[in-house]
Amino acid sequence: MGRDAKRAKQARRDKRRRQSAPTPTEPVPAFPEKEMLRLGKTWDRAIDLGLMASGQDVKYHFAPDGGVLSVAEGKSGQVLANGERLTPAVAERLRAQMPLLAEVVTFYERNQIDNLGLGGAPQDGLSALPVPRSAGPVPAMDERALRRVQAATEELVAQGLVKEGAGMIVTPSEHGVLMAVGGRNGELYANGRALSATWADRLRAQLPDLASDVDRLQAIRAEWQDGPPRDRSMALEECNDPNCLAPH
């Protein structure tokens, strides 16, 4: 057998040996002990503040990068996340801090909107989660639809429910426009009507590509109504949504 043939035979043996060798297993992420201790203190504080009862069960979700999302149901049925009430601002912050658990945060945020508490919660330790979606292209503004919702909002101003020149969110859709504004009475109005559950469902049907925006507005309204009514005229003035256009 020639030297080249021997080399080829040895190469085939080496290849078979490599293929049959056991593949190394993925390293198991270290248990986030420090983060768990920190979260324990946040839950103690939630009990001290009266947000939840002592001894209440807390559910944990772990991400492979060490992120931890812990949730519990508060005394009034609201969802608590990492020791805080799951307001829209808290949800946005948690999604930014723990992108691998962003979908789970959104699940509990939607449960909060629907008054479902922790019902149907995902299993502990979810890690195979999709990367959060980036904002899509902004549709062109439908000027006719914009004039309609502006007229509806001007009627609220005429009724004294909304302050003249109040800050608002205007979001274009492939099917129209979504305009939201805070009222003097602490109400949140969308396209000229108070954002009740029935009206929110109709808006989602009319503007299906803005369903998540309607969800977010419902969560904001729920947060507002959790406290004493007050003038919310400028509450929506700041809008960080990349799919949100002026005027605000």
- 27-36, 122-131, 191-200: the lowest-pLDDT one: 122-131
pLDDT attached to residue 248: 33
Q: Identify any residues that bridge with 172 across adjacent strands, giving them in sequence order.
A: 177
- For 39, phi then psi, to 5°, come to -65, -35
pTM score over 0.95:
no
pLDDT attached to residue 241: 44
Query: Taking residues 50-70, what's their average pLDDT?
Result: 84
Q: What is the mean pLDDT of the chain?
A: 78
- How sure is the predictor about 156, in pLDDT bands with cuts at 50, 70 and 90? very high
Q: Evaluate whether 98 touches 39 at the Cβ level (below 8 Å).
A: no
Query: Taking residues 238-248, what's their average pLDDT?
Result: 42
Whole-number Å distance between alpha carbons of 152 and 141? 17
Per-residue pLDDT of 44-53, as tens digits, reads: 888 887 788 8
Lookup: tokens for 182: 């805070």
Q: Evaluate whether 212 touches 200 at the Cβ level (below 8 Å).
A: no
